[in-house]
Structure 1
Amino acid sequence: MVIAVKAHRIAYMALPKAGCSTVKAALAQVDPDATLPENARPDVMTWHRLYPTMRFRPHRWQAYDGWWRFCVVRDPLRRLLSVYTNRVVGLRELHNCRNIRRGRVDLPMDPDPDFFFQNLRGYIDAASAIKHHALPAWLFLGPDLGRYDRIYRTSELARFGEELAERTGAPVTIARENPSGMRLSLDDLAPATRTALRDHLDAEYGYLAEFYENPFGPRQHRACTGPTRRVS
């Protein structure tokens, strides 16, 4: 599903764990069709109910030719680490996983980061919430980043807010909507975990090579075909 602001002909494809809560909250400020709950303070889930995140579909994207089309990307390692710090530790989503709770898979609900990332494939298969946030970026953004008029890094969200305000003529406030309370870095992980992450993220860094340097060294292969140029 393309997140569309019809009044301003803006189309956005959301990437989970790449500032999408913040971007959706900003779009709601300029979207006259956005309906917010009455007598309730909006929270993170408000924005996701208003603008659901769906995977990329070429036929849906073609309907927005001529619109201003943008997306936001994030360093692949930081994005994946935040799956653990936010979804596993902060929100404890594995406690809601039926496959784990009912013993269908032998995985702990409160894994340490080394166990989690060394068994990431098992957690992705067992828990839909983990799968949604850990899937590769190209499944949400499409194989060709050249389709976008503007691609922001998550570090550029303040600039996104400024440019959205200029484009729409409406005031826009950018606030971080879904921060992780825990900090985790590559140095905190065991060598075997770093190797597992290197292999898992190799293609992802190939896809986003124009935006982020691979901290594990030169990539070995690509996730998909198509240019990854940045359109300013």
Structure 2
Amino acid sequence: MPVILSEPKITYTAVPKNACTSLKFAFYFLQNGEAFEPSIKNGKPFHIHTCYPSAAFKPKNPAVAAEYWKTAVLREPVHRLLSCYVNRVLNLGELDAAMISAEDLEKGATPRPSFAEFVEKMDLYRSLSSSIKHHTEPHVFFLGNDAGYYDRLFKMNELEVFRAELIARTGKDFVLQREQGSGNKMKVQDLSAGLVQNIKDSYKADYDTFSFQ
């Protein structure tokens, strides 16, 4: 579901691994006039993603949607999947040995898989981890399959342009902080052509719907 500002009328639809954590913090400030502070509510952590969950696309009533400036951020799918792997698998250990059962091993899972194996067996790893599944859903899952629904789609290298546009529209200055950086040096340029093509085939719907750099 999108983050909604009522004045001015703006909706931002987040896609995991597309600077969404940083932007959700920014939109919380724009909406509430103060920084978001994680807390415990009813014994459970209340994080920015609890406040603004990313979910499957559901279009608004066209008449209502037309009143809003609708926006989102795109990330080239190969770059996005590599970022997901580095963050969720290498940094957070979501597919480490402790997370993989004997039954999972029999299905062909390897604890802490290489990126090539992660891509090759993506359906398996998605079935083993709800977090991996969530972070590897395609753009169209979150944004829908009509790029024309949005008034402006920003690329990852346009985040400062996005920030400036939000400041101009809301009259509120803010700093867009990087919330999910990793120090890993894996680069798309280091991947084999075959592996890159496999990823592109997996995310064909994204490439058919949106324009990526």
Unaligned runs of 5+ in 2: 41-45
In structure 2, the partner of 1:150 is 152
In structure 2, the partner of 1:51 is 52
CA distance in structure 1 between the partners assigned to 2:155 and 2:70 by the alignment = 15
Structure 1 residue 204, shift from structure 2 partner = 2.5
Matches within 5 A, 1:49-198: 49-59=50-60, 63-95=64-96, 100-101=100-101, 103-104=103-104, 105-190=107-192, 192-198=194-200
CA distance change for structure 1 residues 14 and 61 in 2, over 3 Å: closer, same or farther? farther
CA distance change for structure 1 residues 33 and 113 in 2, over 3 Å: closer, same or farther? same
Structure 1 residue 36, shift from structure 2 partner = 3.4
Amino acid in structure 2 at the alignment position of 1:116: F
CA distance in structure 2 between the partners assigned to 1:62 and 1:123 by the alignment = 40
SS in 2 for 1:12: strand
Structure 1 residue 10, shift from structure 2 partner = 1.3
Structure 1 residue 33, shift from structure 2 partner = 7.7
CA distance change for structure 1 residues 188 and 34 in 2, over 3 Å: closer, same or farther? same
Structure 1 residue 191, shift from structure 2 partner = 5.6
SS in 1 for 2:67: coil
Aligned length: 206
| Deviation >6 Å, runs of 4+ | none
SS in 1 for 2:154: strand
Q: Percent identity?
A: 32
CA distance change for structure 1 residues 143 and 204 in 2, over 3 Å: closer, same or farther? closer
TM-score scaled to structure 2, two decimals?
0.84
Any conservation in 2 of the 1:165–1:171 contact (CA below 8 Å)? yes
CA distance change for structure 1 residues 59 and 164 in 2, over 3 Å: closer, same or farther? closer
Any conservation in 1 of the 2:22–2:177 contact (CA below 8 Å)? yes
Unaligned runs of 5+ in 1: 213-232
In structure 2, the partner of 1:221 is none
CA distance in structure 2 between the partners assigned to 1:211 and 1:199 by the alignment = 15
CA distance change for structure 1 residues 58 and 96 in 2, over 3 Å: closer, same or farther? farther
CA distance change for structure 1 residues 62 and 181 in 2, over 3 Å: closer, same or farther? farther
Structure 1 residue 91, shift from structure 2 partner = 1.1
Amino acid in structure 2 at the alignment position of 1:134: T
Q: Deviations over 1:98-135 (max 9, x none)?
A: 6x335344412211112111111211222211111111
Q: Deviations over 1:124-159 (max 9, x none)?
A: 222211111111111111111111111111111111
CA distance in structure 1 between the partners assigned to 2:97 and 2:51 by the alignment = 23
CA distance change for structure 1 residues 169 and 194 in 2, over 3 Å: closer, same or farther? closer
CA distance in structure 2 between the partners assigned to 1:119 and 1:80 by the alignment = 13
Amino acid in structure 1 at the alignment position of 2:16: P
SS in 2 for 1:197: helix
Q: Deviations over 1:52-71 (max 9, x none)?
A: 11110124776433011111
Structure 1 residue 192, shift from structure 2 partner = 4.9
